[in-house]
Structure formats: C-alpha cells, structure tokens
Structure 1
Amino acid sequence: MAVTLVPDKSIGSSFQVGSTIVTYTASDKSGNQAMCTINVTVFDNDTEDPVFINCPSDINKTTIMGENYNEVSWKDVVATDNIGVNIVNSTNKSGDNFTIGVTIVVYTAFDLAGNVAVCNFTVIITDNEDPVFLNCPSYMSMPTASGQASANVEWNIPTVSDNSGWYTLNQTHMLGDLFEIGKTVVIYNASDAYGNTAECAFIIEIYDDEPPVIINCPSFGIPIVLPNGEASVVVNWTDITASDNDASNPLVSCDPPDGSVFDIGTVLVSCTTMDNSNLNASCQFEVTVEGK
C-alpha cells in the first residue's frame, strides 16, 4: 500500500537560531496517519548587536507642587535584531515616580546569540519650589528693662516646610538677644539644597517708658537772710542734674534759673527735664529771702 510522507518544513528550509521541531506526517489511502518529529538545532555565529529604534531623549521635569518627585512617562522602547530580540531589561519603567535630581534610565536588549545593545537616557527632576515659613512672628513691642536702655527679647522660632525635605535656616538675631531702644528688623532666611529661598522678617520695637530722675533738687527749699540795707540778693544752688535709663543725662531747666536775683519774699522754683523719648520729670522748691 502506498504511503504519503509530508513534512511541515521541507529540506533546505531556513531555520531560526535555536531549536525548531520538524514534524513528518505519514498517511495511507485508508486515511491512517503516523507522525514523526525531528528537533533541528541551529547554532548562531551572529555578531550583530540588536538596535534600539526609539531610544528616548533626556527628559526634564519639575516636581509636583508640595512634593519631591514627579511621574515621568515615555513611549515604549523597542529594539530590533537580525535574528530576533530575546529579552529587553530596564532599570525604570515609564510612569515611575522620579525624585529630585538626575536618574539615568538604562534599557538593555539581548538577541538569541547573546549580543547586547544598550539605550540610556537621563531623567532630571528640578525643584523650583521655595521653602515656606509656617509661623513668621508679627510686630513685637516691649518696654526697656528697669534702669536699662534695652531689653532681652524672646519669640517663637519660625518653622519651615520644604518639599525637598531639606533646608538651612539663618537669622540676623538670636532668641534672647539684647535689643536697644528703637525698631530693629529681625530676618530669618531659609534655603533648600536647590537654591530656592524664603524670608521671614518682623520688627521688634523697644520703647522707653521710664522717665528721667532729677538729682540734687533742694528738698527743704533755700532760706536766705539779707544783710542790713539790702533789698535783693543773687541766689545760687548746687547744680541740679538728671539721670536717665537711656544714659542721655538730659539737661535740667529751672524757672527762675540758678543765679537769678531774688527779692524779699518766697518764690517757687520749678525745674523740668525731658529725655530722648519725651518723658518728663520735674521738681519744685522754694527760695525764701528775709530781711534783717
């Protein structure tokens, strides 16, 4: 009985590198069949590397607001090869989150012969977001310390938030510093590692609420007895001065002034002074002139 033998690949066919199963099917006129398989293995002498046909260019993006990263996507990376690409590996995937800085993404393609090709590109995530002060102090006003022209001042130290999670804080004055009478601007500067900055500034005003003190004001008055025949006399008294917590030593003015001519009778002398903060002090005493 005649038998027909049919292979799925004929002699002389082209085979890919690797193993291929060739099947022969034998059939008789009654429709009976039998099969035989042959394993054909082709060893490759290919030295041609795979080729990436769409390796992405470098990608630059900024961070998401308030975050230290951004999602980065790119088109599917495809490699071809004269005998077929076996596998493509990558260090990152399209759609991954990339943090601030530079990341090199590497794709590697292998063909069936073990030849290798590499595609790499750079993903740069830039931080353009300034730090944020959460509780910058407001205007502060306080009096001088007793007997001093200054005061030590404390405040709540400002806190800072930054999307990168890292910053430095510098200030013009330290907590508890001594501040003189007047207005002083206190400045805090926050800087992150990427050159973004923020400033917190507030004013501290130290005011003088302590009036000057008059010294040597005659507390019991000045009694004068005229020589016989005299109707008036020049009266002098010990210098009346003033001291003040601002160390200005303000001048004292008396009415009538020291060295005035006083007639017989009693005259009330009023002395006043004013410091640099327009705070006043005064004293009074009597000059009494009597005749013999």
Structure 2
Amino acid sequence: MIVWQGPITTDNSGVNPAVVCDPASGTDFVIGITNVTCTAVDGFGNVNNCSFYVDVMDNEDPVLESCPANLTTNTDPGQPTAMIEWQGPIATDNSGFNPTVMCDPASGTDFLIGKINVTCTALDGFGNVNKCSFYVDVKDIEDPVLVSCPANQTTNTDPGQPTTMVVWQLPIATDNSGLNATVMCDPASGTDFVIGKINVTCTALDGFGNVNNCSFYVDVKDNEDPVLESCPANQTTNTDPGQPSAMIVWQLPIATDNSGLNATVMCDPASGTDFVMGKTNTMKILRWCPALQIK
C-alpha cells in the first residue's frame, strides 16, 4: 500500500481546485512500475495534471517447503550406482507466481557409492533465490564375485620330505563397485603342505568391507617307501645241543621315513625264533605306526 502527500493546487479564482490521483494514495500497488496521474479541476472546468510512477520491487525470497529428507540406500544389483528419485521441494512466492525449482544433482540421477550433497534452488521471476539441501548416501553391501576358484589338488610329497610346496593361481574377483577386490588364500599359494588333506579358503574383500569366499582342498600323499639301514647280515650257525633247531637273535634294522614318523619294523620269522636246520629267508616288514600319522 502506497501513501503520498499532495499535490498542492492553487487557482486564479482564489478557490483551491479539487485534486484526484489515479490510482489513489493508499492503493495496493502490484509489483512493477505503475503510472499515477493526479488531476486538478477548478470550478470553471479548467484542468491541469501531473504524473509520477510507483515502482514496487520484489526483494523477498521464495519459501521452500517439504525439502526431501536425507536418503540412505544401497547400490542397484550389480551396479556401482543407485538411481534416486524424490518428490519436492515445494516453492511459494509472495509474487503469487510459482518459482522455478531445480535440484543439483537432479531427481532420477544415478548416484555413485558414497555421500553426495544435493542442493535444491527456488528462483522467482525477480531474481530472488532460496535454497535447501539434503544428502544421498549410497551404500555398497554387495559381496564381490569369485570366479576360477582352484580345483581340489592331490599330490605327492617332495622326495625325502614330509611336505610338498603347492602353487595355484589366485581366484579372480570382480565387484559391483568397479574397484579391485583383494584376494587372499589361507594357507597361501606356495605354502609347504604336510601329509594329509588340508582345506584352503580364498577370500575376496572389497573396499567397503563386503566379503565372499571359496574353498578347495590339498591332499598330500606319501607314496615314498621307508629307508632300511643296518639290515642284519646272513647268518650261518649250528643247531643247539641235542636240538633239531637253533634260536637266532639279531638287532632289528633301523628304518627312517620321509614323513618324519616312526616306522614299525618286523621280521618274519622274528628275532628269537627257533630256526630248523636248513636255510631260511627272513623278510623285513615296514609300516608306519598308524597312531602317529598326521591328518
């Protein structure tokens, strides 16, 4: 509402003419420039006028309501992004015209993993601006994918050793994030594996703590014969007095094995047996002591 004083009129008749302004003082003027004409008319129909303008400026920012709340979501399956859509915000303006509202990034954008700020701006027709903001936090909770996991392996010990070194190609890991996942195996490739079946677990870890694993086994066989040392020499002896036989005693051979375990040594016939007259072959039998095998 605009109020003004004047204008003041005088007239040669000595009577002050009436003055009317259009629009009148006290009128509500809309935004923009409005011309006002004030007219003086004396009692004899003589007229004069003057004019001015009223320029109403809009310096009031728009009002933003219903700004979206912060959003936390997961990546789309198999993707390093998530498409995010939202409603609002709503903008009103004292001018009565709907302001333009734009968000950066816009609703419907594919957001990368991480936290990204979104700023929404309302702009009215007179250059006045208001803003609100929120964030979009895209989480990666998708496990890496492991391919080419090694097959189960069966092998023999290295010559003279209780172990064998086993080497394999690491599994290949891919991740929806597009980043390389770390792959580790336990035990690691190149480890010396002892006799027996051992499970190997390979684990892929992405940069966001997501894990996947695969497993296989390494079965190390001992197919190497024990080694016999100090085998008794051939023996020639006489029968015991008055007997058709002679009791023969000897020291058992010494046996070593690549496994590092004790080997059982038995002779057939055994030391201390009564041997009858004639030549008898003695066989040495070796075997591992089962109680000491490593599983």
TM band (smaller chain)? 0.7 to 0.9
- 1:1-292 equivalence runs, <5 A: 11-12=23-24, 15-18=29-32, 42-44=55-57, 46=59, 48-83=60-95, 84=97, 88-111=101-124, 115-166=128-179, 167-218=181-232, 221-225=234-238, 231-275=244-288
Contact 1:70 1:125 in 2 (8 A): yes
Larger % of strand: which?
1
| Counterpart AA for 2:79 | E
Alignment correspondent of 2:8: none
Render the CA deviation track for 1:128-153: whole Å, top value 9, x for unaligned. Answer: 21111011112111111111111000
Distance 1:223 1:44, change over 3 A: same
* Overall identity of the aligned pairs, in %: 33
Residue 71 of structure 1: CA displacement? Answer: 1.3
Looking at structure 1, the residues matched to 224 and 116 of structure 2 have their Cα atoms a distance apart, in angstroms, of 65
> How far does residue 226 in structure 1 lie from its aligned partner after superposition?
5.5
Alpha-carbon distance change, 225 to 19 in structure 1, aligned in 2, over 3 angstroms: farther
- Per-residue Cα deviation, 1:20-62 (whole angstroms, up to 9, x for no partner): 7x7xxxxxxxxxxxxxxx996725374x432113322333332
Unaligned ranges ≥5, structure 1: 1-9, 23-37, 279-292
Contact 1:63 1:69 in 2 (8 A): yes
Report the alpha carbon displacement of residue 262 of structure 1 after superposing the two structures with TM. Answer: 2.5
Aligned-residue RMSD, C-alpha: 3.2
Closer, same or farther: CA 74–19 of 1 in aligned 2, 3 Å: farther
Structure 1 distance, partners of 2:52, 2:153, is: 91
Cα distance in 2 for residues equivalent to 1:124 and 1:56? 13
Is this contact kept in 2: 1:100–1:126, CA < 8 A?
yes
- Where does structure 2 lack aligned partners over 5 or more consecutive residues? 1-21, 36-50
| Cα distance in structure 2, aligned partners of 1:191 and 1:39 | 77
| Aligned residues of 1:241 and 1:251 also touching (Cα < 8 A) | no
Contact persistence 1:17–1:112 (CA under 8 A): no
Deviations 1:37-94 (A, max 9, x none): x996725374x43211332233333212110112112235331111356654432112
TM (normalized to structure 1)?
A: 0.74
Q: Please give the alpha-carbon distance, in whole angstroms, between the structure 2 residues aligned to 1:123 and 1:192.
A: 21
**Change in CA separation of 1:247 and 1:137 when aligned onto 2, cut-off 3 Å:** same
Letter of the 2:229 counterpart: I
Using the size of structure 2 for normalisation, the TM-score is 0.73
CA distance in structure 2 between the partners assigned to 1:69 and 1:40 by the alignment: 57
Question: Separation in 1 of the partners of 2:176 and 2:32?
Answer: 53
User: How far does residue 175 in structure 1 lie from its aligned partner after superposition?
Assistant: 1.6
Aligned length: 252
CA contact 2:92–2:99 (8 Å) conserved in 1: no
CA contact (8 A) 1:211 1:275 kept: no
